[in-house]
Amino acid sequence: MSAGAERVAQAGTVLEFDRVDLSFDVKVLDQVSFRVEPGETRVILGAAGSGKSVLLKAAIGLLRVDAGRVVLMGQDITRLEEKDLVAVRANVGVLFQEGGLFDSLTVGDNVAYPLENQQVRGAVPAEEVQRRVTEALRFVELEQTMDQYPAELSGGMRRRVGIARAVVTEPPLVLYDSPTAGLDPITANTIMALIAKERDAKGAASIIVTHRYQDGQIMADFRYNSERGGLIPAAADPSSAPRTIFMVMREGRIVFEGDKASLEASRDAYVRNFVRR
């Protein structure tokens, strides 16, 4: 068990928001409270500008909250200094909206970056880095792009490299900021299958910000089939089902929180916008 996973096991909660406020010129997070348990999947839906991406950034201390508490891996990060935050963030993988890949580094170097730069990890030997990078790229089926630059890849491939970089350290929590935005439906489903695969193969908790209801549906209704690859309906084996919780945000507030069934049963007009049958 990694040090991060151990800490989670002790703390019990991976991420907790307690009445969090955050504003720039206008309020972007308004009294936001929720808890994410280990292994849980949380799908955050909401219109553009409803505060979804801001919430992810606040979760790892990239943005400072004005009021309330953010507890990450059992540690209150609300007032933590940047240099101490680095150690806590090492337990979290992040996929940024456009991938956030360093365009001056090759794909291989991008994926190796967290292993080589997170000092809390200590020096990882070069062969070990190489092995884990290859493994992470194989995970997203992009081993052959190792020496290419991100600009040479398609949007969907860049997103997949971003996932490889987010999971290469095997963190107990992975944040995905709009993993399918701007992708065609086929590529989008490939990406969601990878996210489900990461969840089911490694048991990491995931927070997925999206505006596509199907993304949440895939997470709630499908499991990764480790024997034959690909996704299978979860109904076949309900006991294996990790919790998938939906949250709907509107103008910085959480207006809905619950599982898929109660989301689909919701009568709220705004919430219903995000549910397609």
Partner 1 sequence: MSEFFKALVSEWQDFWFLAGRAFANIFRSPHYWDDVALQMEAIGVGSLPIVILTGFFSGFVLAMQMSRALNTYGATGQVGPIVMITLVRELGPVLTALLVAGRNASGIASELGSMKVSEQIDAMRALGTDPIQKLVTPRLIATCVMLPQLTIVADFVGMVGGFAISYFSLRMTASQYWTPAYQILEFNDFVQGLLKPFIFAIVISLVGCFYGMKTSGGTQGVGRATTQAVVVASVWVFVLTAFITRIFVNL
The two tokens of residue 61 are 């201390």
Candidates 81, 82, 127, 227; binder of partner 1 (CB under 8 A) is 82
Using alpha carbons, select from 117, 130, 64 the residue that is nearest to residue 86. Answer: 117
Compute the residue count for the chain: 277
Stretch touching partner 1 by CB under 8 A, among 38-46, 117-125, 189-197, 234-242: 117-125
7 binds partner 1 (CB under 8 A): no
Candidates 47, 86, 124, 146; binder of partner 1 (CB under 8 A) is 86
92 binds partner 1 (CB under 8 A): yes
Cα dihedral 215→221→226→228 (10° resolution): -90
CB 44, min distance to partner 1, A: 18
Candidates 57, 69, 202, 211; binder of partner 1 (CB under 8 A) is 57
Using alpha carbons, select from 226, 237, 234 the residue that is nearest to residue 260. Answer: 234
Stretch touching partner 1 by CB under 8 A, among 56-64, 179-187, 199-207, 228-236: 56-64
60 binds partner 1 (CB under 8 A): yes
Show contacts with partner 1 in window 202-241 (CB under 8 A). none
- In 3-state terms, what secondary structure has residue 112? helix
CB 65, min distance to partner 1, A: 16
135 binds partner 1 (CB under 8 A): no
Smaller CB separation from partner 1, 99 or 252: 99
CB 21, min distance to partner 1, A: 21
22 binds partner 1 (CB under 8 A): no
Show contacts with partner 1 in window 161-200 (CB under 8 A). 165
117 binds partner 1 (CB under 8 A): yes
154 binds partner 1 (CB under 8 A): no
Q: List the beta bridge partners of residue 35.
A: 16
CB 223, min distance to partner 1, A: 28
Classify 252 in phi/psi space as left (phi over 0), alpha (psi -120 to 50) or beta.
left
Q: Alpha carbon of 80 to those of 20, 83, 220, 242: distances in Å?
A: 15, 8, 34, 31
Tokens 């600009």 map to which residue?
Answer: 151
Contact (CB, 8 A) for 208 and 41: yes
CA atoms of 161 and 152, how far apart (whole Å):
12
CA atoms of 214 and 216, how far apart (whole Å):
5
CA atoms of 39 and 60, how far apart (whole Å):
18
76 binds partner 1 (CB under 8 A): no
106 binds partner 1 (CB under 8 A): no
Candidates 45, 101, 174, 219; binder of partner 1 (CB under 8 A) is 101
How many Cα neighbours within 13 Å face the side chain of 142? Answer: 30
Classify 16 in phi/psi space as left (phi over 0), alpha (psi -120 to 50) or beta.
beta
Residues that bind partner 1 (CB under 8 A): 57, 60, 62, 82-83, 86, 89-90, 92, 94, 96-98, 100-103, 113-114, 117-120, 165
